[in-house]
Amino acid sequence: MEDSAGVLTDTTVIDQMINGEEVSSGLEIAVVTLPTIGSYVPKDFAVALFNYWKIGKKGKDNGILILHIIDQRRVEIEIGYGLEGDLPDATVKRIIDTYTIPAFKADDFQKGHADTVAALINKLNHPEIPVEDLVSNTTDSNFASDTSTYPTGSETSNESKRTDYYDYQGKSYSQLTEDEKRILEETVERYNTTGNYFLNDEESRLLNEKFTELERIEKEESFRLKQYFIFGYLAIFVFLNLLQRLIVWITPSPTAKYHIVHKSDFILFYGIVISPVVIAITLLSLVLDDALFPVSIFLIIASIIVFFIFWGDLRMRKLMERLQAIRNIPRKCEKCGSKMVKLSEEADNKHLSEGQVSEEIVNSVDYDVWVCPSCHSNSIFKFKNINPEYIHKGTSFLKIKPCPECKFETFVCKSSRILSEATYSSSGKVEVRRTCAHCKHNATEYETIPQKQKSSSGSSSGGGGGGGGSFGGGSSGGGGSGGSY
């Protein structure tokens, strides 16, 4: 219930109807009054608001939005996909014409909204009842009469005709036996169309206590899950670090060790480094509830960026030192089994081709040459630069790439210029002039800068005074109707 226009005298009754029906059937209804929507078309605004809030349960699409725009004197009722068969456009239009518009024309917005909500709920629960009989006439604009129980077709007040009251002896909800809880559930299900209005004081109290108890259980479950998340997060990364070291230790080939460490380092390093941030955010969410979740995601991403900026070079130096130590692990000759000797950077050039030497000069590749002192055989191992340079920051255009002519990784960028910047609606273009450091082949290339992407993050508030946050994930394709008064 969101009365931003302030035209309703009492939202309690409408809230009770909405909450009672959601407990019983899962139906989600949002009532919104707005003083203005500017120049927007009411129907388009209603569809957009419905889908932004995702009114209705996910997978069921059983949501209803009643949007009342004061300055345009217009009401729109938007129906979720899952209810279009039960509430076709023609039926919604008749409900608006029968209950909403007459009350609105009389400036009795309280009665108009209450009767509209009651009529929609009653039509879903009792499709056989004609639209004209969904809500009985009443002189009290604060209440919409319930006609959902229709045992005789003529009742106008369920409370005065009820004879099935049960004495709960003043117990709290937690003190009720299973049979008493079942009796309460059956009573609520029978009289829930307009919420607590047709329940006595004790039943209303117990129903509210039930909601409170369910919220408490949900919070306790959320607390446990967050504890499991913290311990699980730490356990996973500690385990993965230990597993990586175990695999490296038992792997006989130094080259295989090298690639295992290189490929797994990034996620393991940052997983551990940002763990204090993740844990702090999780602990804060225990106090601030789930409202912090969108902020949490932002903080985690921001912390990764900050760590990358300030500790990225340190991480790279440590990684290179570890990888270099792996490359220096003694190797055995595959021919005679003798221990091989690694040549220095100066001495290994005579075992490399001119193209390989050129790759080392431009620092795209580094070669290790190992020779056997017994049989004089040699082995050459290729290691690409693990920290390559890029033409423009934030792009994937390498300064050095394989030459299309000689195939060595010596095709160096000599100059580049941006011909057009990327925007949110189109991609950009970069002109790159390259020359091969080995065969001297040169060419001009054109690289495409990907189109910019807008972030899709967003959140909305929920609860009695706001809208959107408590809904389950429904959607609408424009079903429903509207009317002016």
Encode pLDDT of 43-79 as tens digits.
888 888 888 888 988 888 899 999 999 999 999 999 9
The answer to whether the CB of 142 falls within 8 A of the CB of 110 is yes
383 pLDDT exceeds 80? yes
What is the pLDDT averaged over residues 377-390? 88
DSSP, collapsed to helix, strand or coil, labels residue 354 as helix
347 pLDDT exceeds 80? yes
142 pLDDT exceeds 50? no
400-401 β-sheet, strand order: 400-401, 411-420, 428-436, 442-449
477 pLDDT exceeds 90? no
The enclosing H or E element of 237 equals helix 201-250
Rounded distance between C-alpha atoms, residue 351 and residue 342, angstroms:
12
Rounded distance between C-alpha atoms, residue 431 and residue 298, angstroms:
35
Domain ranges of the chain: 2-156, 331-387, 388-449
Q: What pLDDT is recorded for position 461? A: 33
What is the pLDDT averaged over residues 123-132? 90
Q: Distances in Å between the alpha carbon of 462 and those of 31, 63, 457?
A: 13, 15, 17
153 pLDDT exceeds 60? no
If one compares 419 and 146, the residue with the highest pLDDT of the two is 419
232 pLDDT exceeds 50? yes
For residue 322, which amino acid is it?
R
Which tokens sit at 261?
């460490």
pLDDT digits (tens, 9 = 90+) for 165-216: 788 888 888 888 888 888 888 877 776 544 444 667 777 788 778 878 887 8
What is the pLDDT averaged over residues 130-136? 86
Pairing status of strand 341-342 against strand 2-3: unpaired
Q: What pLDDT is recorded for position 471? A: 64
For residue 410, which amino acid is it?
T
Biggest CA pair distance of the chain: 109
> What φ, ψ does residue 449 adopt, rounded to 5°?
-85, 125
The position carrying tokens 């580049």 is 416
CATH label, 2-156, candidates 3.10.310.50, 3.30.40.230, 3.30.420.40, 1.10.3720.10: 3.10.310.50
For residue 76, which amino acid is it?
E
Q: What pLDDT is recorded for position 192? A: 52
Q: What pLDDT is recorded for position 475? A: 64
Rounded distance between C-alpha atoms, residue 398 and residue 178, angstroms:
69
If one compares 258 and 141, the residue with the highest pLDDT of the two is 258
Q: What pLDDT is recorded for position 290? A: 56
